[in-house]
């Protein structure tokens, strides 16, 4: 390998060539560059049509209505809009929130903010597999619980949570349910006609689209009005003001449509890659899988290397672009909050690395990564 093998798809994905074509076609004078809110001329109508086409493409992936899709700058903003907005909208009914300790920081910090504003929070730990269990949520419910937030697929371990079961419980108890689906959209089927989730956060850059754009699904029958967190011109049904970036939105739509069309094919390919990788590396005595094989998406593998410092191991693998955990935490040396919430010791959490495969990963790269890892472990492991 002449350049490092990219195995950090859980942090971000490169744009698909088809998506790049759509993106660039909305930038120049000859393209679809106009402000979608400029409804007094042809160029604005054209841009608005591109935005609405993309809204339909995103809605189709979720089997949703286009009126349920609100554009944001990414999943982080979508999480903030959903959690803060829903809590404020329902504060007269109650001020208790249930949230998993394994969530992305965008969710955890939003809930922490609400706690500072007088809301009470019950933090629940996931199972050892990484899944957030319905049983734990049921035990945490109080008479004034108004919101539950749990991610569909964990960004560090790939653990899948049964959001349908939680949604049914929340719905039957009159509690709003928010799901961070940044890691599952385009990788697992999310059918909002079957799964009665009230709000779903998604973004483009985990699905081979550009960074800086995302969306929040808000179920039209949820029975509440979501107050804006960003105010201005009243765009997006008054829920999110700001000039819409036609190029990013059109590209996100194209990315979601493409992901929808090859979802099963990609799932199978990544499952094969995960099996090859684990078969090779799990034979080493110091390797421990964090989570489970069956209960996680195939594109993410989180491993602890007992007796080996994670940062040392990372430095010893310069030809592998991998992560010590969530990209948002990679600058710190503290143990992963996700792993420790699963019961992994701080020492073992500090020796963990995340490998994530994607659309452009090849079998040769997977085999190279496994060989490289085992070779280094043979030198470092005691």
Q: What is the pLDDT of residue 283?
A: 92
Q: What is the pLDDT of residue 121?
A: 98
Under 8 Å between Cβ of 344 and 285:
no
Which positions ≥6 away from 314 have C-beta within 8 Å? 322, 324, 353
Look at the pTM and tell me if it is higher than 0.85: yes
User: Phi and psi of 252, rounded to 5°?
Assistant: -65, -40
CA pair distance 100, 110, nearest whole angstrom: 13
CA pair distance 39, 244, nearest whole angstrom: 13
Q: What is the pLDDT of residue 1?
A: 72
Q: What is the pLDDT of residue 382?
A: 60
Q: What is the pLDDT of residue 359?
A: 98
Which positions ≥6 away from 261 have C-beta within 8 Å? none
Q: What is the pLDDT of residue 325?
A: 57
CA pair distance 342, 325, nearest whole angstrom: 14
Q: What is the pLDDT of residue 241?
A: 86
Which positions ≥6 away from 14 have C-beta within 8 Å? 6, 208, 360
Taking 70 as the pLDDT cut, the residues of the chain under it are 325-332, 381-382
Q: What is the pLDDT of residue 132?
A: 97
**245-281 residue pLDDT tens:** 999 999 999 999 999 999 999 999 999 999 999 999 9
The first and second tokens of residue 64, run together, are: 């949703």
Cα angle 42-44-47, degrees, rounded to a multiple of 5: 110
Question: Using the 8-state DSSP alphabet, how is residue 315 labeled?
Answer: H
Nearest one of 266, 182, 247, 358 to 20, comparing CA atoms: 247
Q: What is the pLDDT of residue 237?
A: 83
User: What's the N-to-C CA distance of the chain in angstroms?
Assistant: 28
The first and second tokens of residue 348, run together, are: 């073992």
- β-pair partners for 5: 320
The first and second tokens of residue 63, run together, are: 């089997």
CB atoms within 10 A of CB 163: 25
Q: Which helix (H) or strand (E) holds 84?
A: helix 75-89
Under 8 Å between Cβ of 84 and 229:
yes
Catalytic annotation on 99?
no
CA pair distance 75, 202, nearest whole angstrom: 5
Under 8 Å between Cβ of 252 and 209:
yes
């Amino acid at each position: 390998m002449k350049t490092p093998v990219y195995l950090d798809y859980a942090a971000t994905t490169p744009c698909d060539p088809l998506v790049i074509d759509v993106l660039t076609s909305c930038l120049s004078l000859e393209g679809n560059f106009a402000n979608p809110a400029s409804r007094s001329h042809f160029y604005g109508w054209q841009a608005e049509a591109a935005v609405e086409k993309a809204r339909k493409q995103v809605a189709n992936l979720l089997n949703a209505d286009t009126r349920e899709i609100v554009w944001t700058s990414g999943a982080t903003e979508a999480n903030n809009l959903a959690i803060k907005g829903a809590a404020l909208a329902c504060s007269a009914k109650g001020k208790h929130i249930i949230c998993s300790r394994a969530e992305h920081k965008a969710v955890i910090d939003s809930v922490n903010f609400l706690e500072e504003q007088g809301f009470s929070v019950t933090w629940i730990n996931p199972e050892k597999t990484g899944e957030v269990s319905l049983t734990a949520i049921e035990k945490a419910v109080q008479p004034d619980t108004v919101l539950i937030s749990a991610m569909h697929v964990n960004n560090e371990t790939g653990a899948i949570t049964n959001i349908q079961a939680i949604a049914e419980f929340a719905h039957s108890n009159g509690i709003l349910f928010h799901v961070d689906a940044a890691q599952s959209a385009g990788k697992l089927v999310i059918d909002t006609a079957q799964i009665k989730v009230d709000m779903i956060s998604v973004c483009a850059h985990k699905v081979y689209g550009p960074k800086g754009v995302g969306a929040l699904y808000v179920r039209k029958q949820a029975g509440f009005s979501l107050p804006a967190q960003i105010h201005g011109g009243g765009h997006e049904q008054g829920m999110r003001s700001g000039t819409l970036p036609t190029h990013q939105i059109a590209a996100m739509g194209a990315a979601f449509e493409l992901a929808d069309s090859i979802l099963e094919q990609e799932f199978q390919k990544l499952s094969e890659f995960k099996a090859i990788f684990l078969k090779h590396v799990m034979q080493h005595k110091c390797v421990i899988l964090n989570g489970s094989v069956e209960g996680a998406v195939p594109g993410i593998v989180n491993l602890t290397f007992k007796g080996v410092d994670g940062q040392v191991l990372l430095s010893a693998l310069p030809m592998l672009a991998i992560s010590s955990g969530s990209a948002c935490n990679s600058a710190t040396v503290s143990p992963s909050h996700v792993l420790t919430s699963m019961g992994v010791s701080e020492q073992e959490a500090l020796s963990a690395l995340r490998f994530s495969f994607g659309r452009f990963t090849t079998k040769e790269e997977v085999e190279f990564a496994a060989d490289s890892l085992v070779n280094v472990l043979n030198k470092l492991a005691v």
